[in-house]
Amino acid sequence: MTVSTGRRVTANLNLTLDGRYHGPADMGAIISYAATEVARNHLGRIHETATTAVLGRLNAEGFLGFWPTIVDNEDADPRDRGYAKWLVDAEKVVLSTTLDTAPWARTRVVNAPAPEVVAGLKATGEGDILVNSSASVIKPLLAADLIDRLYLMICPEIAGGGPRLFDDGLPASQWKLSHHEVGELGETALVYDRAR
């Protein structure tokens, strides 16, 4: 039996009004809201108490090409730089069945089911565990009822196709709204805590 240290598992994802994290062809319905004031405030909020980032392979590789370049970019928004520095410096766990070597410093690659990996992380260390924009990791954690906090950015568009975050068959659960912020374009940052 795994013992918990009290670490929370948090997850961050941007969604369209129809609950999709990717449209039928691209992420255009989400990307256009990524640089708003509300989105940047939300970005600053997601890592405040986190010490570990958990990523799927695709996001790990994509993030590697972008976020490290922001750390020392004096023209970047300070919230973006703060997040970039946190991500570069944080412990990172990348879940992958295909990677052989870690794509970042302070990173380890694990080929195991997400619930098993996260349960192991909860048993050691301190600080929140942030599952960062990786639906392939968030979905099995939702199915196993292992997520304690959801950071959702709702973009006011209907994608009309593409994968959804909340698939049928998830266990029923209740959530408490802890924070919300609405932007000028109608984008909404939401923080929900699992009511247990």
**% of the chain surpassing 90 pLDDT:** 83
pTM: 0.93
Q: From CA 128, how far away is CA 49, in angstroms rounded?
A: 6
What are the pLDDT digits (tens) for 149-164? 999 999 999 999 999 9
DSSP 61-90: HHHHTTHHHHTT-TTS-HHHHHHHHHHHHS
Nearest by Cα to 159 from 14, 58, 12, 11 = 14
What are the pLDDT digits (tens) for 51-76? 999 999 999 998 888 999 999 999 99
Decide the pairing of beta strands 128-132 and 9-16: parallel
Cβ atoms of 187 and 156 closer than 8 Å: yes
Which of the 8 DSSP states describes residue 30? H
User: Phi and psi (nearest 5°) for 82?
Assistant: -65, -45
CA of residue 14 relative to chain centroid, distance: 9
Query: Quick one: CATH architecture of 9-195?
Result: 3-Layer(aba) Sandwich (3.40)
**% of the chain surpassing 70 pLDDT:** 97
